Every structure is written in structure tokens, then in C-alpha cells.
Structure 1
Amino acid sequence: KLRNCKDINFKNRSRPCIEYQMNRCSAPCVGYISENEYAKDVKNAINFLSGDTKKIIKDLNKNMDAYSIKEDYERAIIYRDKINAIRDTQKKQNVLTGFKDLDVFAIKKNKYNSCISVLKVEEGWINSSQNFYPDTKENISEEHLLSIFLERYVIENENRKKLNLLTDQKIREETKDFLKKLDNPKINIHKLDSKNNNLIEICSSQAKDALNRNNSFFWVSFALEALSNFLKIKRINRIEAFDISHTSGRQVSASCVALNKDGPDKKNYRLMNIKSDVNNDYFALSEAISRRIKNLQNSKLILPEVILIDGGKGQLNSVQKNLDKNILDKIIFISVSKGPNRKEKYDFLHFNNKRFELTELKDISKILQLLRNESHRFAISQHRKRRSKSLLASGIDEINGIGIKLHSNLLRHFGSKSKIMEASIDDLKSIPGIGSVKAKEIHSALNKK
């Protein structure tokens, strides 16, 4: 019965609050329980939440027996009820897990990171969970990665006599043989079935959620160092990437994303609406990069050492032609293009009028594809917003005297923008608030479109 009040309320109380009357607090604020007794309750609560119920039940039994000997049966009953409540909770938990002791494993991967989640069931409780983020610079399969992890996991738990393992992933035969030969701990790998499938679902869900929340970019600093060596420059503090998105030259949008040694540098992300609606990616990229560099210079901010363009040799050469020579001397320009059949694993890097296959550049391929994909995602998101806004707009908005209410009445009456466009002057006059003059203005404006 622990208190849940704030310290300021606890210090200033002269009589118990309603929590005590509801039998949910032992009222330490007014001394209804000794400091030592309350400290024991706090310790028991911590042990209970940590899954250590054996010691709690042992202590509660000792207290129950002590009060029984003193013939203080009311106090003894309180401890008996506590013991029964803990045992009832354990029974419910055992029904959930179906196991006394079990270690459950699940693995989730995305393009750049991996997460292995471990769910521990002890004494029937789902007692704890941990997430691990192995360094997966190389393209390792889930089977291989989990197998390596299991070997290390059992070695680190050699103080345990027995380990019951459960996973829905395949384990390498070499790993199975290694685990079978161990005497300490003794390994038992459970097969997946309907009884334990709920535990796999919980563990997999945790791995997926942890992977989504984890921003593990420890590898970026190494990749930037490898890229600077490849480009033969001293250091890369920041690299920026640009991409263009449009629909046949309309609502042309440009994105700029940045990355430093800590990962995505979102304070340097930028979105730009290209002034001219022209179906020309070369022109749009040149405008976006020129505007970005000009803004950095005007604000006296540091330029990136490298700029990456989403595109091939044509985009790269066009942008470089449109930039001042002093800029080209300060910034290195590279581009990444799709390979045959637009499959990412066959991407090319373009630099110094040369083309390199990213499959041959494993130390830098990951960071280049991350930048290219992020700039592409950012550009598309902006373009879609503009396109949606444009689709919702119409020539009606540009007519003087047409407000939100009248616009809404028109759409409600005719049902769609296309029907309004087809409406005659008489049809328009039938709308409340539209007279002959206004109907002619609307009809004339729509037929000009």
C-alpha cells in the first residue's frame, strides 16, 4: 500500500487522505506505519515488479507466522491475503506464457540496421526484455546473424544450468551442433507451436518497435572516413544530397538532406519550390543547389564538403556547368544512379567523369544509398503536398467575391469540381447567394480555364 501523492502534500498532511480510507495506502504521512515497515513495503514492491517473488513470499510468510504467534490474527490475515494475491497473479501469468523459464528471440532488419530482441520468462513471468543492435555493415542473413548472437548469448550465460530457447528463425546447423555439445548451460531449443506462438509475437513486435525507434548511426563516421579517402579529401564534416520531384513539369519540388558523423542532420534539411514549372531535372537541380549555396554564403555558414545528386552523369555535368568555378573548387560533386532494371544493388556512383559500381564499394555504398533514398523521400513528400493542394484548388478560388462558404455551397450542390465546370449560368443562379451578375462572372472565369 504505497503512497502516490506528491512530496509537498505528503509533508503537509495532518490526517489520512481518501486513499487510506479506500485501503490503498498505509498513511505513512501521519505515522500509521513505521518508517522501517514502509521501507520493507517499498522494497517488496520493487522485487515484485522485478519478478523476484520467491523472496517476497518468504518474507510475507515469516511476518504472517510472527503475528499468528502473537495472536494478532488481523495482521496475519493481511499478510496471508498478500501471499494469495501474488500467487493468483503468478497463475495468470503462467497461463499466458505456458513456461516456467524461457528465453525468446526475435530479429528484425531494415536496410541499414538490425535489432535482436530477447524476452525472458522466469518463474512463469515475462520478467524482462532487452534489445541488441549488432553492427551489420556486411550483408548478413537473419539466420546467420541470429546464430552468431545465440552462440555468444549462451557463453555469456554459462552460470545458468539450463537454457530453454525459443525462436521462429532458422538456426545454422553448425550453431545447433555447438549448442548441443555444451554441458553448462544445457541447451533446449523449443519448437514453435500454438502454445508459444504468442510469445514470439510479443518478442517480434518489440523488435520491430525498437528498430523503428532506434537511430543507430554509429557506422556513419566510419563511412564518411571511407568516402573522404575515396574522394581523396582530408575530411567530410557534412554531406548534402539533392533530388527533384514533379508531375510532367508541374509543382516542381526540390529537397536537400544533410548528414554528418552523428547521422541525419535534420536542422539542415530544406525543401524548395522551383520557380519555373519546367520538365527539366537538370535546370531544377541547378536552381536548387545554387539557391542553397547562396543562402549558406549569405548567412556566412559553412558549406558542405560534398554534394550528392540523385541522377546520372547528365545531371551531374549539367549542375557543375551552371555553378561558379570558385564553388566547384570548394565542394566536390558526385551522383548516384540506378543500375539495370532500376535495381538498387546495381547502383552506380559518378565522380570525375568515371562510373563506379557500388557493389565494389562496400564501405561507402550504404551511406550513399541512404542519402539518395532520403533525398528522394523528402522531395516526393513535398511534391505530393503541393499536388494535393493544387487538386483541391480550382479556378473558382481566383474569382473575387467567392469565399469559403459560397465555394462550399457550390461543391455541395453540384457534387464535384467537374460538374461546376459544366454548369450553365441558370444552373449557377439556382445557388443561394449567387445572382445574375455573379453567375456570369463565375461562368466566364471557368470557361477561360
Structure 2
Amino acid sequence: MTKTNEHIKRILAIIPDKPGCYQYFDEKNAIIYVGKAKNLKKRVSSYFNKEHDSRKTTVMVKQIRDIKYIVVNTEAEALLLENNLIKQYQPRYNVMLKDDKTYPSIVIKNEYFSRVFRTRNIVRDGSQYFGPYPSAYTAKIMIQLLKDLYPIRICTHPLTPESIQQGRYKVCLQYHIKRCKGPCVGLQTLEEYQDNIQQVKDILKGNLSAISKLLYNRMQELSAELRFEEAQETKEKYELLENFRVKSTVVTPNLHNIDVFSFIEHERSAYINYMHIGNGAIVQAYTFEYKKKLEETKEELLSLGIIEMRGRFKSDAREIIVPFDPEIELEHASFTIPQRGDKKKLLDLSIMNAKQFKVDRLKQAEKLNPEQRNTRILKEIQDALHLEKLPARIECFDNSNIQGSDAVAACVVFIMGKPAKKEYRKYIIKTVVGPDDYASMKEVVRRRYQRAIQEEAPLPDLIITDGGKGQMEVVRSVIEEELKLKIPIAGLAKDKKHRTSDLLFGFPAESIGLVQQSPLFRLLEQMQNEVHRFAITFHKDKRSKSQVASELDQIKGIGEKTKVLLLQKFKSVKRIREADFDELKKIVGEAKAHLIKEALQAK
């Protein structure tokens, strides 16, 4: 056993059976992983006593050269410590927190006559911050509401009792339009102004009911005192606040001071949405992403998110709504997994926001890497048809004829969801007489894959026929019974208006069920349109050549170039027949002119 293994073994022998945090170090003495555990001995030992499914975990364990641990009293303390250590050291193998730190907040500045405004910068100067808000527009609307309710100053003067007393400032337009009471010139007392600021804080915390009730009572008092103008102003504020409360309330106002967390996964990413509820209104909303590094469970990731968000926003909510048990214990807080009612509505709303965040992230990634989108769609096809591997190469077939004449077929190839036009092939039907689509399809599929086998060319991961169950069965009989190949076969069905309507798969064929206008539907529609376009274009070209074929084709010694020259000059066989010998001689020479004249006159 190496010196490193001996060192690790000694550490494992003395680690206590207590909660705490552990840190793994590499050969450069850098922290590569931080974890927390209810039982340090069991958790740390498990890394060295078993085989790991994840290759990354196996690689990480091979790099461990030293282990350190910190013992704490409870698992909740271990969780907080783990969160702080990850932030401090950002270990290579820990989950990466990805979020947008520039969401706007609303700040109440720690000033004499506090200002209230939007900001994206958090300054630790004693000011109070509320948010962050999901968009600048949301924060702007909230600021506008506050300004409509209360005459808050917007000037940036560094107001102090001395500067006001010395008369350094003058009232501005805001005073004249009655949106500020002029504290800069001593027309509003600090006590009155701070009373307004306190009500602003209550609104930002979600305590709308108390403010609404206060305004209503004040309106009644002013009305009783016959101070109707002031009563009307108070009424307008009351109605404005009530209108906002109705729009912002998602459930009954009885639900107050509650945290809501939801969790969804996609491949190696986990998306967590956080909402804080005050009096039935969403006071804070935030979604972020964790990039998985090892074999983190959903419980571990959710618990990390809960500690991160409650710490970041200093939440003291005693109830936390979650979709499943995060398997942690927090002091002075309990978890609720709702099944119905208003709390379930809150959880569903949170899940909806997490899903939207995921969709936005995937769209953003697909714009940077278009191939990622195609891979995702092909993965949908693989999952829908239960294919063994990703259908990276898809080949589609279609026939084209008019009452059996000039029968042709076409094959188009899509590689990783994109048309590979160099791989397209056209086929003239050789063995079928009359309009028999099934026999024509048999011939084409047989010819294509017999040649592919002979030339050892790549075979498709999926064959799609432009037709229903009959075409699928014909292709299957050739692929499986004649050629002994194992290639999945699907069929694209059309509706009465000859538009893509469904994807068929299996024998007997069953409908897979396509969501109209989904990315998957549009890709399959593109394939069907492309093979139909390619087949019909080839058929038109062949039919045109048949129709253009003339008496000139039957004259020995007259080739295609000579025929083109004559038709360009005379436009029709009739005019060539009527042309003088000398005219023909100038274009094709004496010998060919004799041949043409003799042949056409004989006709």
C-alpha cells in the first residue's frame, strides 16, 4: 500500500461518528471537494469502500491526498458551514451555482430623509434592500406605486439638519406637482417623512393589509371631519393599493411569511425556484441553476438551494413549502409538502417558474450551439420510439408517378437533424409496370440497401416512409426478411389535406402522437416535405424530357449537343423541317444537315 493510502487509512480510522463538514485535498494541497454529513465516518468512508457509478467520482477519489474535517453540533450547522466553505474555496468538484447577480432590488438608503430607488448594486452601508425582483419592469412598477402613495424625495442632495437649516437648497418641480413635500427646505418634518418610509417598508415586505386598513380608516376620519379634499386623496391611495394587492395576491392573505422552493432536473443541471410569500403576495422570486459535478441527489441539491436562498435574502420564515423532503433539519422552521389547496397552488406556481427558467436557459444554449437543439430533438425521437441508439442518420423514401408513367422514387438523408444533400439519391423504377407504389417502394429499398451492403456504406439508424402502415410493411419485408437487416422503420401519415399529421411506429403500427408545431413535429414535417419535393422534382424533370423527346432523337448521328443547337435556333422540329439546307449547314455542318433533311423528309 502506498504512503498516500496509508495516510488516508489512518484518517478514516479516527473520523468521529458526528455531524460535520469534510474537505478533500489534492497533491497540490488545494481543496477539490467539500461535503457535509450527518455521520462523518460513514459518509467519508463510503468514498473509499465501494465502486462508484460516476466516472467523475472515481477520478476525484483517485486525486485525494488528504482529508480534513470540522465537527459541529447539528446537521443544520453542517449545511451552513458547507455552503460557506464552497463559496469561499469554490472546489473543482462541487456543484457550480449559476445565476444572474444583476437582478434589480429596491433600496431604502440609510440617509437623513431616506431615498427609495431601484439598484443592482448592494452596498453594505446600513441601507435596507428588498428583492431582487424578477425584472427591471417589475421593480419599476413597484417604485411607481410607492411614489403614487407617498411623497418621497427623488433628489440626490446630501440632506442634513445643518444644510436644511442653512437654506442651501430650493424646492424643485416635484414639490410644485405635489409629489414631494419639500423636506429639503424644512417644509416636512423628519417624523412625518419617516412614518411614510415605515409604511413603504411594510409594503415592500408584503404587509399590504395593514397599510390598506390604515388608509381606509384615515379616509373615514377625514370624511367625518368634512375634510373632503384630503379624504379624496387618501381614497385614491387606498384604491391604488387595493388594486395592486388584488393583482399581486396569489392565494389567501392569511398565508404570510412563507418560503416556497421547487426543483426540476435536466441532464446534468438542476433548477431551483425560490419565492417568499407575505400576506398571500409574492414578495421575492428567484430562480437559479446548479451544475452537477458528481452523484448529488435531488435532496442534497434542494437542501443546498434552501440554505443559499434563505441566507442570501435573510429569510426567517418558519414554514418552507417544498416538493419533497430535502432530508435536512432547520432550527425554527418546518417543511410542508402540500397535496391540495392554496399551498399546492404556490408550489405549482413555483414549479412553473422553474420550468420557464429551464426553457429559457436551453434556448439560450441552443442559440450559441445549434447542434445541441438537433441532438435534443433526436433524443426525443429516440425516447418516443424506444430506439437503442440516437437516430443520427435518418433516411426517408417517397414515390412519384402519374398513372404509372415515368415512375420514380427518391431517398433523402438527414444527419444529426440536418439535410445531407450530397447523400440524396434518385431512382427510376425499372421492374414495375403500372401504378404500384408498394412494388416500387420494394424495388427502391432493395436496390439501395443491397448496394449499401456491397459497398459497406453506412446504414441508417432509422428509416421513415412517406406513407402509412402499408408502406411500412413493404419496407419491413425487404429489410428484415430479404436483407436480414435490423433497422427501425417508421411512417409519416398525412391528413385529408395532405399535411403531416402523425408518426407511426411498430408492427402492427401504432400512432406515437405528435404535438402539433413542436420542434419534433417541425423536423419530421421538414423531412416529409423534403423527400416529397425531391421526388416530385425528379419526376417533373423526367416527364419533361419525355415530352420534349422529338424526331431528332431517332436520327442516327445526331447527338444531344446538335439537338440543343437546332432547337435553340429554330424552336421546334416543324421549323427545322421547313428550314433551307444552307441554314442547317451553317449550324451543324454539311454531313449532319444531309442526315437531318433526309430523315425529316422521309417522316
TM-score (structure 2 length as normaliser) = 0.34
Greater C-alpha Rg: 2
TM-score (structure 1 length as normaliser) = 0.44
Higher helix content, 1 or 2 = 1
